[in-house]
C-alpha cells in the first residue's frame, strides 16, 4: 500500500525530505500534493519532484482526497491551526517541531486526533540518532553510575536570519526556547524524564529588539542538573554544538547539532567493556536504517590487580581508564534526512495499523513545549 503525503510549506526541510522520499522507494511513500503560499516556489517544487497536485491554500491541500498524511513544515505559529483543520478533515498529521506555540494547543490537537482515531507525530529527530541511543543505554543501565549533570552548548548560525525574519518574532516562532529548545527538551525527557524546576536567562541583542542568546537550568527528579545554552550569533560554517553528560564514572561528549561523534572517557572493568563493545555497539548499529556506527577505543591508564576506587561513599572496581569513540560514517545531512524519513515511515506504519502508535507522539510534543514555556515564564531578560 502506498501512503500519499501532502506537504504544506516548501522550504529547505521539505526539499531535503522530498528527495529522500524519491530515493527510498522501499518505504512506499509518495508525495502526491504540495502547498506553498508563494506560487513560484510551489510550481518549482512540483516540477522538481514530479508532484501533480499543487496548491497555494493549505485548506485546498487538506481537502485533497488522495492525501493520507499531511506534513506541516510552516513557521511554528501556523502549526496548530493547520493541524487542527487537517485532523477535522480526517487526515493523519506529521508536525514539524514545535507543533504549536502553547501546550494547550497541543492538547486540543491530541483530543481531536483521539476523537477521530487519527495518528499524529512530531519531528523530534534527536532521539532517533544512534549516538543519543547509546547515551540512553547508559542512563537506563547505569553502567557508569547515575547521571549527575548534562550541559548543552549550542552556538548556532544567524547569517540567513536578518532582524525582520519570523524566527525573531515571538508571535510567530515562540522564541528560541519554543522554536529550537524543544528538540533538546524532548531528548532529555526521553533520556531521564522531565524536570521538576526550570530557570532561564534571555539576553537581548544590543541595539536590536530581539533575543539571540538564552541559557537555562533544569533540575530533574534524581537531582540531575541540566544546563542549556543557545546562541544564534555565528556564521553557518563556524557553528558548533556539544552536549556533555557527566556520570559518576564517565564523561561523555556528543558533538554536532546533528550528532556525528560520541566520545566517552570512563573507568571500566571487563564486564563493562564487554557490554559497551558488544551489546551497546551492536544495538546502535541497528538503530537507524542505513546509518553506520564506527567504533574505536584507547586505553589511557591500566590498573593492576583488584583495584577499587571510592567516590560518593561508594566503591567500584576498574581495570582501566578508557576512551571509547563512536562515530557515524555518513555525513550529518544524510543522518538528518534518514531520521526524518524514518519518522514519517513510522507514522505510516501506525496509519496502516502495523503498530498502535508512532514512537513519538503529541504527548511528547506537549511535554517538551511545557518545559519551553516554563523557561520563558521563569526567565530574567538582560538588555
DSSP 90-155: T-EEEEPTTS-SSHHHHHHHHHHHHHTT--EEE---GGGSHHHHHHHHHHHH-BTB-EEEEEEEEE
Shared domain for 153 and 280, answered yes or no, is yes
Please report, for the domain that includes residue 19, its CATH number. Answer: 3.40.50.720
Burial class (CB in 10 A: 0-12, 13-18, 19+), 17: buried
Return the CATH number at 182.
3.30.360.10
Query: Are residues 130 and 119 both part of a single domain?
Result: no
Together in a domain, 156 and 265: yes
165 plus 293 within the same structural domain: yes
108 Cβ contact list (under 8 Å, min separation 6): 80, 84
Residue 25 has pLDDT above 90, yes or no: no
Mean pLDDT of 308-332: 95
Both 88 and 191 in a single domain?
no
Q: How many domains does the chain have?
A: 2
pLDDT in tens, 46-91: 999 999 999 999 999 999 999 999 999 999 999 999 999 999 999 9
Which residue range is the domain that position 145 belongs to?
126-330
Quick: pLDDT tens for 337-351.
Answer: 999 999 999 999 999
Same-domain pairing of 108 and 181: no
Confidence of residue 22 (pLDDT cuts 50, 70, 90): confident
Are residue 153 and residue 10 in the same domain, yes or no? no
Task: Classify residue 177: in a domain, yes or no.
Answer: yes
- The reply to whether 130 and 257 lie within a common domain is yes
pTM reported for the whole predicted model: 0.96
Does residue 126 contact residue 359 with C-beta atoms inside 8 Å? no
Based on the fold, state whether residues 197 and 252 are members of the same structural domain: yes
Express the helix, strand and coil content of the chain in percent, nearest 5 each: 40, 30, 30
Do residue 140 and residue 203 come from a single domain?
Answer: yes
Please give the pLDDT value at position 14.
94
The verdict on residue 378 lying in a domain is no
Mark 314-347 as b/e (b = at least 16 C-beta within 10 Å).
Answer: eebebbbbbebebbbebeeeebbbbbbbbbbbbb
Computed over every residue of the chain, the mean pLDDT equals 96
What confidence category does residue 23 fall into, taking pLDDT thresholds of 50, 70 and 90?
Answer: confident
Residue 175 within a domain: yes
Q: How many CB atoms lie within 10 A of CB 235?
A: 10
CA pair distance 114, 117, nearest whole angstrom? 5
Prior bond to 98 cis, omega within 30?
A: yes
As beta bridge partners, residue 232 has: 156
User: How many angstroms separate the CA atoms of 280 and 264, rounded?
Assistant: 13
- The answer to whether residue 318 is domain-embedded is yes
Task: Return all residues near 369 (Cβ < 8 A) that are at least 6 apart.
Answer: 98, 99, 100, 102, 103, 106, 178, 182
Question: Within 10 A of 126 (CB to CB), how many other CB atoms are there?
Answer: 21
Same-domain pairing of 293 and 152:
yes
Q: Which one, of 191, 328, 194, 193, lies nearest residue 258 by Cα?
A: 328
37-69 residues labelled b (16+ CB within 10 A) or e (exposed): eeeebbeebbeebebebbbeebeebbebeebbb
Amino acid at each position: 500500500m502506498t501512503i500519499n503525503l501532502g506537504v504544506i510549506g516548501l522550504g529547505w526541510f521539505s526539499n531535503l525530505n522530498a528527495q529522500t522520499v524519491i530515493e527510498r522507494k522501499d518505504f512506499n511513500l509518495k508525495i502526491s500534493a504540495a502547498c506553498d503560499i508563494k506560487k513560484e516556489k510551489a510550481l518549482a517544487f512540483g516540477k522538481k519532484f514530479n508532484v501533480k497536485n499543487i496548491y497555494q491554500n493549505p485548506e485546498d491541500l487538506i481537502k485533497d482526497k488522495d492525501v493520507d498524511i499531511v506534513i506541516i513544515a510552516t513557521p511554528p505559529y501556523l502549526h496548530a491551526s493547520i493541524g487542527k483543520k487537517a485532523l477535522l478533515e480526517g487526515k493523519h498529521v506529521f508536525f514539524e517541531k514545535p507543533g504549536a506555540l502553547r501546550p494547550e494547543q497541543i492538547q486540543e490537537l491530541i483530543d481531536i486526533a483521539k476523537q477521530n482515531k487519527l495518528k499524529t507525530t512530531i519531528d523530534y529527530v534527536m532521539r532517533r540518532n544512534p549516538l543519543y541511543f547509546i547515551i540512553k543505554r547508559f542512563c537506563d543501565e547505569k553502567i557508569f553510575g547515575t547521571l549527575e549533570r548534562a550541559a548543552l552548548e549550542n552556538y548556532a548560525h544567524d547569517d540567513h536570519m536578518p532582524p525582520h525574519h519570523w524566527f525573531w518574532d515571538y508571535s510567530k516562532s515562540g522564541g528560541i526556547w519554543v522554536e529550537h529548545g524543544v528538540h533538546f527538551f524532548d531528548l532529555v525527557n526521553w533520556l531521564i524524564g522531565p524536570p521538576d524546576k526550570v530557570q532561564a536567562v534571555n539576553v537581548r541583542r544590543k541595539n536590536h529588539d530581539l533575543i539571540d542568546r538564552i541559557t537555562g537550568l533544569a533540575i530533574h527528579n534524581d537531582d540531575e542538573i541540566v544546563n542549556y545554552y543557545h546562541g544564534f550569533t555565528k556564521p553557518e560554517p563556524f557553528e558548533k554544538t556539544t552536549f556533555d553528560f557527566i556520570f559518576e564514572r564517565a564523561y561523555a561528549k556528543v558533538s554536532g547539532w546533528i550528532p556525528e561523534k560520541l566520545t566517552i572517557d570512563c573507568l571500566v572493568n571487563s564486564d563493562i567493556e564487554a557490554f559497551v563493545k558488544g551489546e551497546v555497539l551492536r544495538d546502535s548499529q541497528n538503530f537507524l536504517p542505513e546509518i553506520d556506527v564506527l567504533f574505536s577505543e584507547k586505553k589511557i591508564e591500566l590498573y593492576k590487580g583488584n583495584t577499587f576506587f571510592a567516590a560518593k561513599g561508594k566503591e567500584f572496581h576498574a581495570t582501566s581508564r578508557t576512551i571509547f569513540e563512536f562515530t557515524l560514517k555518513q555525513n550529518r545531512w544524510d543522518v538528518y534526512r534518514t531520521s526524518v524519513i524514518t519518522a514519517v515511515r513510522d507514522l505510516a506504519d501506525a496509519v496502516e495499523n502495523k503498530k498502535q502508535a508512532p514512537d513519538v507522539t503529541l504527548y511528547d510534543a506537549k511535554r517538551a513545549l511545557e518545559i519551553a514555556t516554563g523557561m520563558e515564564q521563569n526567565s530574567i531578560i538582560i538588555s
